[in-house]
Structures are given as structure tokens and as C-alpha cells.
């Protein structure tokens, strides 16, 4: 949708000329995230400073029926921040303050454009801990984490973003500004509007302030890398560790190709991978008592030694730990740098991981594509990277979507669902019928209409085209 001069002048009046952008370079820059190679430039990019300015923008957008797409750090993998109908790209980047760290109540108040790692480091200086750690935490915004209900490696023990959001200031599509809840750990007062906003992918409102719960910081951790001669056995070991009574703070799965590509892509990591090794588990336990951690580590060893494994690497120093985590967090970028790819974000009950992995490989053979799998195995979350490699363009366009649908059908049949932490956005919306009945989808769409009757806020996301 084009923006005429009358509307532009009104936007300049609200924001000032220096925060209204119509040049091609800016529009193209804000027209993509990390979703494949999609680029959808908005008609105009706006950079408001506060909730009041966002309210005025949304009032104007409703008057003229202009699509508005909230844009954060542009690290998303589902196309949730893409302006597929042009209109207004609403960047939140100026709302980037840590407003208050409340050490007495273990809470923090932030604006949405605070980078997740910056938040984690700021509260750590106070002896506090914000556990959510998506792989892109060095660049993603906390507001985007909330919009997508992001997870990360430590979700297995500590939960995902939704488990830490207490209260939100939100600008509704009609311009009203509300707080969704209270700054309390318990709240059974009416419908839970806070949790409704979490994971809504910018379709129900624009988040402008956030109250998060924090935890005391743990002092110790043990990190080990376990090589398996069978990827299926590596998946089997995941459930076995939990059944042995251990709750790791992280339990990550990486296929052989994921590690090989990452070692080539990232400098400064020295990990020897023997011939025949098919997968690794990266396992961490944390706490405040070293003796207990050693007991837990020994128990993990007892479990994994029941499988065909090679020598376990224990990270003895902080540098070694950082190197292993750098390797794990670099996998997605390494895969992206190796080939054109599509990434799917499947999640199943952890005991079903072996069936999911075997099924993915079987489906890949059927449709002629290779997959590289890795992810947060401790909570059953497997990222499936489908590699184009030497596939023809025709097969890439026609066969791969059929394979993806079968992967999702398998996932749902194993009591799982389509996305564990990346959201639905644009790229997964037409698979929603696999996970949800028409009744489910119509209920969700009804909620969207109550909040946004003119469908101006992030239209064309989440809901299937044929609903």
C-alpha cells in the first residue's frame, strides 16, 4: 500500500521529519528479517519514541486503513515482522531503556528494544538471573522475544519467555494504552491478557513496556559434550537422563553436519570429531553447590554410558565453556552460510524425539532433500534445516513443501506441534490446519477481530489464507 503526501505530513507532525523514512535503502533494510531470503519493504519506516507516539500512529492507521507491522531486532525466522502488504514498518528501536531493576522484588522493567543479552548482563551485575537465552540473544530485542514467546537452551529447566512476563504496557490497535496485568507473581483476576499478548506476534497490540520476573543467579555449572555413534541413540539418551532424576539446565542436540559446518564457519573452536560420530549432546547442570553438581554429572555419565558413545569432553575452564556455547549458538548461521535452506521448528514430547528424527530422515529420502537437525532436545524442540544443495529449483518449490507438510503431520501425530519458539508468522501459517481444527482457528480469528476490527496490525500472519 502506498502512503500519500497527506498521510506522510501527518506522520511527520507526530514524529518529526528525522524519524520518518521513505528512502529505498531504509525501506529495504527494514523489509527483511532472518527468514530465508524474503524482502518486503514497507512504504514508510517510522521510529517512534514512546507509547503516545505509537498511539497516534495507530489512530491514523485505523482512519486510513493502513497496515502497521511492529519491527524489532529483525532476527525472526518465521516472517512475523515482514510488511507483506507494505504500509507502515513500525520500528521500536528507540524504546531501548532498562527503566528499573527492582532488587527487592526480583523484577525488571524494560522497554521492548532492549537487547536480550544486554538485559541479562545488566541484571547479572546485581546478582540476578534472566534465564531466557535464544541463540540470537546478542542482537534480538526483548519485545520480539515476547511477541514470539522465545525459548532457548535453558528453557528445559527454567522455561520460556511467557514464564517471566508479569505485566505489559500495550498500545492497542485503536490507540488505547493499557497495562495488561499486575506486577505480582500470582494473578487470578479475570482473563489473562498478559499471556494472550505473549506469542501473539504483533497482531493484537504493540508492546511498549515490560515487567519481567528474575531469579537469583547460580554460582556454578558443569558443561559436557557427549559424542554418539548413532543420532537416534543421542535422542533416546535425552529422555533417559530425565528418567534418571536429573534436571539439566541445558540439553542440546547437534547432528554431525551441524557441528562440521559450524567448525568450518567459526574460528577459535577446537573440537575433534572422530569418524563415525553422528551426533552430540551438549549437557549442562547448574546450581550453588559444587558437590551436588558433581553427583548429577556422574549420574549423567552412568546414563549416557549405556549407549554407544566416544570420549566425553568436559569443559574445565570458562573459555572452554564459552567456546562450546559459541559453537552451539553459531549452528544456525553456519547452516545459512552453507546453503539455501528452510528451517522448521518442530517440538514433541521428549520421549518421541527418536521417532521424530527417524521420520524426518525418511521423509527427506522420499522427497529428495537433505536435512540437518539440531535444537533444544531437553524440551523436545528440534530445528529441522532443509538443505537445497543440488536440488533443482522446481523440486525445491514443489517437493519440499509436500515434505514439510508430512514432517508437521508426523510431529502432530506424536502429540507435538508446529513451533516451539519461532512462531508461525508468514511461512508456517498455511500449515496451521494440521495442528488446529476450524473451530480453533475461528476462535483465534475472533479474538483478532475484537482487538483489531480493521485488521491494520500485522495483517496476513498466523491465520491460513483459506480460513
> Same CATH fold, 339-420 and 220-332?
yes
| Pairing, β 370-376 against β 381-387 | antiparallel
- CATH class as words, domain 5-91: alpha beta
d(CA 69, CA 148) in angstroms, rounded, equals 14
Assign 37 a pLDDT band (cuts: 50, 70, 90).
confident
Identify the pLDDT of residue 335: 85
d(CA 348, CA 377) in angstroms, rounded, equals 9
User: 151 with 163: CB under 8 angstroms?
Assistant: no
User: 96 with 232: CB under 8 angstroms?
Assistant: no
Residues sharing a CB contact under 8 Å with residue 459, sequence separation 6 or more, in sequence order: 67, 84, 85
Instruction: Give 233-259 pLDDT, tens digit per residue.
Output: 999 999 999 999 999 999 999 999 999
Domain ranges of the chain: 5-91, 98-216, 220-332, 339-420
Q: Which of 19-28, 113-122, 390-399 is predicted with the least confidence, judged by mean pLDDT? A: 390-399
- SS3 of 323-340: HHHHHHHCHHHHHHHHCC
Identify the pLDDT of residue 36: 87
Instruction: Give 389-447 pLDDT, tens digit per residue.
Output: 889 999 999 999 999 999 999 999 999 999 999 999 999 999 999 999 999 999 999 99
pLDDT at 173 over 90: yes
If you count DSSP H runs as helices and E runs as strands, how many of each does the chain have, helices first?
A: 16, 18
Identify the pLDDT of residue 441: 97
- State the alpha helices, DSSP H only, in 305-437: 318-329, 331-338, 353-367, 393-413, 432-435
d(CA 65, CA 72) in angstroms, rounded, equals 22
Strand, coil or helix: 13 = helix
Q: Architecture of domain 339-420 in CATH? A: 2-Layer Sandwich (3.30)
CATH code for the structural domain at 98-216: 3.30.465.10
Tell me 350's DSSP state: G
d(CA 99, CA 82) in angstroms, rounded, equals 29
Backbone angles phi and psi of 44, in degrees to 5 = -150, 145
Strand, coil or helix: 463 = coil
pLDDT mean across residues, the chain = 96
pLDDT at 1 over 70: no
pLDDT at 467 over 90: no
| Pairing, β 165-171 against β 177-179 | antiparallel
Q: Architecture of domain 220-332 in CATH? A: 2-Layer Sandwich (3.30)
Helix (H) or strand (E) holding 124: helix 116-124
Amino acid at each position: 500500500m502506498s502512503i500519500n503526501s497527506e498521510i506522510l505530513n501527518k506522520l511527520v507532525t507526530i514524529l518529526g521529519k528525522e524519524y520518518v523514512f521513505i528512502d529505498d535503502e531504509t525501506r529495504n533494510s527494514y523489509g527483511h528479517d532472518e527468514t530465508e531470503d524474503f524482502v518486503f519493504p514497507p512504504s514508510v519506516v517510522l521510529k517512534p519514541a514512546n507509547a503516545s507516539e505509537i498511539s497516534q500512529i495507530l489512530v491514523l492507521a485505523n482512519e486510513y486503513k493502513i497496515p502497521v507491522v511492529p519491527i524489532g531486532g529483525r532476527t525472526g525466522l518465521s516472517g512475523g515482522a515482514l510488511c507483506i502488504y507494505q504500509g507502515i514498518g513500525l520500528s521500536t528501536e528507540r524504546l531501548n531503556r532498562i527503566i528499573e531493576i527492582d532488587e527487592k522484588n526480583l523484577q525488571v522493567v524494560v522497554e521492548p528494544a532492549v537487547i536480550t543479552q544486554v538485559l541479562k548482563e545488566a541484571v547479572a551485575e546485581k546478582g540476578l538471573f534472566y534465564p531466557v537465552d535464544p541463540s540470537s540473544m546478542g542482537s534480538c530485542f526483548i519485545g520480539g522475544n515476547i511477541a514470539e514467546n522465545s525459548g532457548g537452551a535453558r528453557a528445559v529447566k527454567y522455561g520460556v519467555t511467557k514464564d517471566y512476563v508479569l505485566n505489559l504496557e500495550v498500545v492497542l490497535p485503536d490507540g488505547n494504552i493499557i497495562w495488561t496485568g499486575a506486577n505480582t507473581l500470582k494473578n487470578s483476576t479475570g482473563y489473562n491478557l498478559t499471556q494472550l499478548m505473549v506469542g501473539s506476534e504483533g497482531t493484537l497490540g504493540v508492546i511498549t513496556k515490560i515487567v519481567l520476573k528474575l531469579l537469583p543467579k547460580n554460582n556454578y555449572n558443569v558443561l559436557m559434550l557427549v559424542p554418539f555413534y548413532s543420532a537416534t541413540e543421542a535422542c533416546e539418551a535425552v529422555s533417559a537422563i530425565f528418567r534418571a532424576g536429573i534436571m539439566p539446565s541445558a540439553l542440546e542436540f547437534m547432528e554431525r553436519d551441524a557441528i562440521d559446518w559450524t567448525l568450518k564457519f567459526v574460528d577459535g573452536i577446537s573440537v575433534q570429531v572422530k569418524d563415525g560420530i553422528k551426533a552430540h549432546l551438549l549437557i549442562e547442570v547448574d546450581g550453588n553447590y559444587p558437590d551436588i553438581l558433581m553427583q548429577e554429572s556422574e549420574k549423567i555419565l552412568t546414563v549416557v554410558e549405556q549407549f554407544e558413545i566416544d570420549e566425553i569432553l568436559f569443559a574445565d575452564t570458562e573459555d572452554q565453556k564459552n567456546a562450546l556455547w559459541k559453537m552451539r549458538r553459531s549452528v544456525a548461521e553456519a547452516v545459512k552460510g552453507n546453503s539455501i535452506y528452510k528451517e522448521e521448528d518442530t517440538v514433541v514430547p521428549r520421549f518421541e524425539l527418536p521417532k521424530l528424527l527417524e521420520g524426518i530422515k525418511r521423509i527427506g529420502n522420499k522427497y529428495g532433500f537433505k536435512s540437518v537437525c539440531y535444537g533444544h532436545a531437553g524440551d523436545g524442540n528440534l530445528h529441522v534445516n532443509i538443505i537445497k544443495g543440488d536440488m533443482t529449483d522446481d523440486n525445491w518449490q514443489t517437493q519440499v513443501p509436500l515434505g514439510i507438510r508430512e514432517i508437521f503431520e508426523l510431529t502432530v501425530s506424536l502429540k507435538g506441534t508446529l513451533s516451539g519458539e519461532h512462531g508461525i508468522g508468514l511461512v508456517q501459517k498455511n500449515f496451521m490446519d494440521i495442528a488446529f481444527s476450524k473451530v480453533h482457528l475461528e476462535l483465534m480469528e475472533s479474538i483478532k477481530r475484537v482487538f483489531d476490527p480493521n485488521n491494520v496490525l500485522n495483517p496476513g500472519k498466523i491465520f491460513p489464507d483459506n480460513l
